[in-house]
């Protein structure tokens, strides 16, 4: 029995990294206004947004006369403050404008979802080919900037958290496995019982054990044979996954910090790698959405230019994932992935696959009395078409805990 660890942006955030889309947009504005400080015109136009200072001053003169504003406000807050004061007039692309409305009203933004909502709107309105081209260009411009931003984020061994590492490589727990899959867990234990001590020792060492003592397993063999699962007595060696794949939905390499040496562990950069910007997949992946058929039926390929399930075919990451889930039963562990609709097609494939035995979410804890377990479960449920299956496979809160 294997394990897949779904790693999303919350994983990076748990390590103190500023990798949210809101952080990215703030970085964009900080850089933009730093540039405007040395601009001797009243109008500044770049791909996503044209900015005009509405006074008779140039941007350089304005910041020279109002230097304190750069310290009072940062990022998108500075942009909105200038607009609210009537000092700045902005002409944005439709996607960038939608992003800012999300930040202003919700305090956060999902760029990929905003893109898809606009794409659906254009499909329903029979938008021109030029409009679709322009929308795809807007998303590409954001992708280029996002890659630039993330490349500057420093990732080192100092970020490693021992509690997260323990969760990734922890033995299976009987109560985490769905009722329908208890037989798969029993077979996993039986397989371990039938291994010779040398093979068990090899597996134990890959998990970081310095040496393996066969006594516990031998005692269990004598006491129970192959007939019973006793969670409180099972030697942990018998409950270790055979293989672990860190399925990294981020573009960063934080997941690699936790990759142990050994052939049974791997990282799959399912959305691409910052080292190869052309491999980055940035778009939307919800073929279960009712409006997706409307887009497909347009019979215009430009509508499908940033659909993830199509972009996956440009590399072998998705194929390697399919091979992994077909090989044997697997548990899914969720670390920092919101399980939102932008990855719904892929998550549905993983969650409802016949070999999935368990979905264990590690949730975000806000404070002593509040957490986001239920919100995460609600998102997970949208990736299922069979709610009975969902209720059996998702581990209830009693047996779950915060990510860190």
Sign for the CA dihedral angle at 11, 16, 21, 27 comes to negative
Overall average pLDDT of the 328-332 stretch:
98
pLDDT of residue 354: 98
> What's the chain's average pLDDT?
92
Tell me if 161 sits within 8 A of 403, measured CB to CB: no
Q: How confident is the model at residue 238, as a pLDDT? A: 85
Q: Does the CA dihedral 176-178-182-186 come out positive or negative?
A: negative
**CA 277/CA 284 separation, integer angstroms:** 18
> What is the structure's pLDDT at 319?
96
pLDDT at position 226, please?
58
- With left for phi above 0 and alpha for psi between -120 and 50, is residue 272 left, alpha or beta? left
Q: How far apart are CA 142 and CA 137, in angstroms?
A: 9
Confidence (pLDDT) at 210: 57
Q: Span 358-372, mean pLDDT? A: 96
């Amino acid at each position: 029995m294997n394990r897949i660890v779904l790693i999303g942006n919350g994983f990076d955030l748990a390590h103190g990294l500023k990798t949210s889309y809101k952080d990215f947009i703030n970085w964009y504005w900080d850089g933009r206004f730093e540039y405007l400080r040395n601009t001797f015109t009243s109008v500044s136009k770049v791909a996503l947004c044209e900015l005009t200072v509405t006074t008779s001053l140039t941007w350089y003169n304005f910041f020279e006369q109002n230097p304190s504003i750069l310290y009072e406000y940062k990022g998108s807050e500075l942009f909105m403050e200038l607009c609210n004061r009537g000092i700045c007039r902005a002409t944005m692309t439709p996607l960038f404008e939608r992003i800012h409305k999300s930040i202003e009203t919700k305090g956060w933004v999902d760029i990929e979802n905003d893109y898809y909502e606009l794409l659906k709107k254009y499909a329903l309105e029979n938008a021109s080919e030029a409009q679709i081209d322009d929308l795809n260009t807007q998303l590409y411009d954001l992708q280029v900037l996002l890659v630039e931003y993330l490349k500057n984020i420093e990732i080192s061994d100092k970020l490693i958290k021992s509690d997260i590492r323990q969760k990734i490589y922890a033995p299976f727990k009987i109560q985490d496995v769905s009722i329908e899959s208890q037989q798969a867990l029993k077979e996993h234990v039986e397989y371990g019982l039938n291994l010779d001590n040398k093979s068990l020792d090899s597996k134990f060492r890959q998990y970081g054990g310095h040496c393996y003592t066969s006594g516990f397993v031998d005692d269990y063999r004598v006491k129970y044979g192959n007939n019973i699962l006793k969670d409180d007595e099972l030697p942990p060696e018998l409950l270790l996954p055979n293989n672990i794949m860190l399925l990294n939905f981020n573009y960063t390499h934080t997941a690699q910090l936790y990759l142990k040496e050994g052939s049974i562990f791997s990282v799959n950069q399912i959305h691409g790698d910052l080292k190869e910007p052309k491999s980055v997949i940035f778009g939307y992946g919800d073929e279960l959405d009712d409006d997706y058929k409307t887009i497909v039926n347009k019979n215009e390929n430009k509508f499908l230019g940033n659909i993830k399930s199509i972009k996956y075919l440009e590399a072998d990451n998705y194929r390697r994932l399919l091979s992994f889930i077909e090989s044997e039963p697997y548990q899914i562990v969720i670390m920092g992935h919101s399980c939102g609709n932008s990855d719904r097609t892929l998550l549905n494939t993983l969650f409802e696959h016949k070999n999935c035995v368990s979905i264990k979410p590690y949730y975000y804890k806000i404070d002593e009395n509040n957490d986001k377990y239920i919100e995460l479960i609600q998102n997970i449920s949208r990736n299922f078409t069979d709610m009975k299956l969902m209720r059996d496979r998702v581990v209830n809160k009693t047996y779950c805990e915060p990510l860190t």
